Homo-oligomer: A and B are copies of this chain.
């Protein structure tokens, strides 16, 4: 019996009419362990974002524009209908379910995989249906389901973290106590990156994200880390204890929280199952007084030591990128490079540059020609494209070093292309520069700056359908909140110490994609008595291709002398910072190609 039929049999047996299978694990991160990839295992669609709904007679999968092609391919031949999110005429998940089911029918969700806020909005959007919170009813139906893997937990030294875990707990406790009554209460988070940041620990249970499966509860006098205890060495346990961090078993989180009068947690990232259990025991569960999450906000504002670590990581990556770009420049004319091989080569170069290299911070994007028009294209070993001496090659890749996370995109011109293509490159680059040069008053939100990056390319009638900037963790998740730079509003202001990407782009289907991405931190800017001003400091040092712009007065005329000086200064600064680690040949190549 195929899996969908097994699910339907199970639903019938329990009197349920449908089930929603999300992409989440119980920690709501971007990447999830294989064990939790239920949606992929059931549907065959392996993209990172998607939601499957199975009713007694139908099945449908919702995903966003990044994955339309992949989903079409992977769902082909199945009975699962592809729902292209936000496209005209495509129903939302809840309106589709409502139209398929009868009033009073029950829809199942696994309470561990939905947040309290997600449940609230499902309820609101399906008022005529009953939402039934079940345990994991899909997992037991999967044959050969991968087990959860627990890797060792490492302690991040204070000289890398900058602030001892005990101070982080104190700061959190003080800020909570000033906002809400914390007597006989505890703060709770189930976001693995928040746990890692709060306890100065790192792990490798999740692909690309150096975190481990864990929960954390913070009381006035201690931090309780819920973890597979076997993964913490006795020595690390002693180090953690010296910071007031006590270990408890991963599974005991619910019973532990049950001791308190009150639990404070970000309800947008707290499991329905935990919440319901606590509430049923009479415990008051209240939303985090900081709308975006207290720990998320603390974590987002990097301290000076963390920023120094970012700089070291970016320096390592700078050397690796320069060698990699030279490798491409030396070899692309042969027409024998291929995307996947290139991504492997960059990995090797990185590993050679520094022993502190841990691995990639996300699945690398090396996208040649029309492949780059798919913003999240990832080359695969056996199906990646040849790179020919023609058109654009887009490379978006990042690394984890033990003191910082990097994320850089460059687009290379490999042969002559029509003027309009070069114009698009110049406009995307202008957007990147204009955002980099912005000065703004404290309190400014990303949505107020987005136009600087997005504006130039919009003059051609084109736009990129993704954000301009995401927060970046400190040897943590390459995508983190709470700040962002996007069209959509986000109440979090950009504050000094925050590290954010700056990545305008353009995608022309069937032809090319261009994205140029730097990583910037917010620092204080000069203000003549008008309150605090903020500007960006660029952290990553990877040269930017300017030659074909300089040669063409129309393209050059898009930039003011001030903007152009920013670009040539940047390429010079990258050179100066990297030179002592480069060979004479590498230096000569860099000077020829980028010091124009």
Listed in ascending order, the chain A residues whose CB lies under 8 Å from chain B are: 437-441, 444, 447-452, 455, 458-463, 465, 487, 489, 525-528, 530, 533, 553, 556-563
Contact = CB atoms under 8 A, between A and B. Distances in A.
A463 B441 CA distance: 9
A526 B440 CA distance: 30
Contacts of A447: 447-448
Contacts of A455: 438-440, 452
Nearest to A465: B530
Contacts of A489: 489
Contacts of A563: 560
A462 B441 CA distance: 10
Contact of A449 (B441, B451, B525): B451
Given A487-B448, A557-B561, A560-B558, A528 B440 contact: no
Contacts of A449: 451
A197 to B, nearest CB: 30
Number of copies of chain A assembled together: 2
Given A557-B561, A560-B560, A562-B558, A451 B438 contact: yes
B530 A463 contact: yes
28 contacts: A439-B455, A439-B458, A440-B458, A441-B458, A441-B463, A444-B451, A448-B448, A448-B451, A448-B487, A451-B451, A452-B452, A452-B455, A458-B525, A460-B526, A461-B525, A461-B526, A461-B528, A461-B533, A462-B528, A463-B530, A553-B561, A556-B561, A557-B561, A557-B562, A558-B560, A558-B561, A558-B562, A559-B560
Contact of A441 (B460, B487, B528, B530): B487
A402 B489 CA distance: 40
Contacts of A462: 528, 530
A441 B459 CA distance: 11
Given A558-B562, A562-B557, A451 B459 contact: no
A404 to B, nearest CB: 28
A575 B560 CA distance: 26
Q: What DSSP secondary structure best describes chain A's contact surface?
A: loop
Given A557-B562, A558-B562, A560-B560, A437 B459 contact: yes
Given A557-B561, A562-B557, A533 B458 contact: yes
Nearest to A491: B489
Contact of A530 (B439, B461, B561): B461
A463 B528 CA distance: 8
Contacts of A450: 448
Given A557-B561, A558-B560, A563-B560, A439 B459 contact: yes
A114 B489 CA distance: 32
A567 to B, nearest CB: 13
| 9 pairs of A and B residues whose beta carbons are closest in the complex | A557-B561, A461-B526, A461-B528, A439-B458, A560-B560, A463-B530, A461-B527, A439-B459, A462-B528
Contacts of A440: 451, 455, 458
Contacts of A444: 451, 487
Contacts of A461: 525-528, 530, 533
A443 B238 CA distance: 55
Contacts of A441: 458, 463, 487
Contacts of A553: 561
A348 to B, nearest CB: 39
A530 to B, nearest CB: 4
Contact of A560 (B437, B525, B528, B557): B557
Given A437-B459, A461-B527, A462-B530, 18 more contacts: A438-B451, A439-B458, A440-B455, A440-B458, A444-B451, A444-B487, A448-B448, A448-B450, A448-B487, A451-B451, A452-B452, A461-B525, A461-B526, A461-B533, A465-B530, A556-B561, A558-B561, A560-B563
Nearest to A456: B439
A525 B455 CA distance: 13
A446 to B, nearest CB: 10
Nearest to A565: B557
A502 to B, nearest CB: 14
Contacts of A460: 526, 528
Nearest to A535: B459
Contacts of A558: 560-562
A507 to B, nearest CB: 11
Contacts of A465: 530
Nearest to A563: B560
A356 to B, nearest CB: 36
Contacts of A439: 455, 458-459
Nearest to A458: B439
A472 B557 CA distance: 34
Contacts of A437: 459
A78 B430 CA distance: 57
A229 to B, nearest CB: 48
Nearest to A526: B461
A561 B440 CA distance: 25
A594 B527 CA distance: 34
Nearest to A509: B529
Nearest to A553: B561
A500 B525 CA distance: 30
A533 to B, nearest CB: 6
Nearest to A489: B489
